Amino acid sequence: MREKNSKRLWLKTLFRLIILPGLMWSCEDKEPELKARGIQFHFDHKINGEALVFNSMQYTNAAGNPYEVKEIMYFISEIKLYQNNGNIISTGNLNDIHYTDTKLPETQEWLITGDFPTGSYDSLSFTFGIRSSKNKSFMFVNPPEVNMAWPEVLGGGYHYLMLNGWWRDTVGLRRPFDFHLGIGQIYRNNTGQVGDIIEFIDNSFSVNVPGTSFVIEEEKFTKLKLVMNVERWFVSPLIYDHNIWGGAIMQNQDAMHMGCVNGKDVFTLELFD
């Protein structure tokens, strides 16, 4: 009798060790596989509807300044998607900030994944730059993002935009411009001296990109082209004149404010194959 009981106990133990794990594994295999969906952004840069040609003084802005573009670097953050039914979908903190550099093709793609609701969307918005609550010095430690550092004495954090190029002034001289946006400063008595800074200004701004509707489907990535129309930095609603503001504006809040006002109309959205 003891021999039979021992045999049964041995068989039960063998069942638990070999058979049950196999059954559990089989159940796990039958659970549906979750596949990501989301948006694949491609960043493009145009002037007057045509592909931007770098290092060629073939453009003229609304103020009559002949100019050329050398390079463009910038951050966008806090993407929000707007459904046709009025719902607003945030991409969340994991996909919060993206850096784009016209000299680095790998930065001109941004894949945002997540459990976004499927269906129709009519527009999107984002923050140009990084809001001051997040724009902290030393949060990037590697290039290329680290190269966007904004001087600590001018407010710290990182540039929102570096649009570098050349313009031809009123006497025909070719002069460099650094159209840079970031934290602004207010100076006591407008001295422009670092020791006289009495306030810092968060110049980041929201951009609403209407126009092209798009659809997010199950297990697919929707491809969208986000186009920076470079000429719009200088034209609408305020006409920006390099001859007035000069080549460097990091300590000129009035000039940076013009760029921020105009920047709200700089981007358009296209479907991308």
Residue whose pair of structure tokens reads 């082209």 in the numeric block: 225
Strands (E) across the chain are located at 37-47, 50-51, 59-60, 66-83, 88-90, 97-101, 109-114, 119-128, 161-168, 174-181, 184-187, 197-201, 205-209, 214-216, 221-229, 267-271
- At 2, the pLDDT band (50, 70, 90 cuts) reads very low
Supply 40's token pair: 């694949």
**Which one-letter DSSP state was computed for residue 16?**
I
* Closest C-alpha among 219, 232, 187, 235 to residue 38: 219
Q: In sequence order, which ranges of the chain are alpha helices (DSSP H)? A: 2-14, 20-29, 242-245, 253-263
Cα torsion angle, 202, 203, 206, 212, sign: negative
| pLDDT at position 113 over 90 | no
Please list, in sequence order, all residues whose beta carbon lies within 8 angstroms of the beta carbon of residue 231, skipping any fewer than 6 positions away: 47, 48, 59, 61, 62
Choice between 273 and 190, residue whose per-residue pLDDT is larger: 190
Across-strand partners of 81? Answer: 89, 124
Tell me: the pLDDT tens digits for 231-247? 999 999 999 999 999 99
- Amino acid identity, residue 46? K
Supply 249's token pair: 């504006």
Supply 156's token pair: 């710290």
**Which one-letter DSSP state was computed for residue 117?**
P
From the CB of residue 266, how many other CB atoms can be counted at a distance below 10 Å? 21
Alpha-carbon distance of 123 to 31, in angstroms, equals 35
Q: Are 59 and 65 in contact (CB under 8 A)?
A: no
From the CB of residue 41, how many other CB atoms can be counted at a distance below 10 Å? 23
The domain spans of the chain are 1-31, 37-271
- At 123, the pLDDT band (50, 70, 90 cuts) reads very high
Choice among 35-39, 65-69, 214-218, 251-255 with the minimum mean pLDDT: 35-39
- At 28, the pLDDT band (50, 70, 90 cuts) reads very low
SS3 for 195? Answer: helix
Supply 62's token pair: 């609304």
Choice among 17-31, 48-62, 99-113, 166-180 with the minimum mean pLDDT: 17-31
Tell me: the pLDDT tens digits for 75-95? 999 999 999 888 999 876 656
What mean pLDDT comes out for the span 134-163? 97
Torsion, Cα of 235, 45, 252, 169 (10° steps): -70
The pLDDT, as a whole number, for residue 210 is: 81
| pLDDT at position 21 over 60 | no
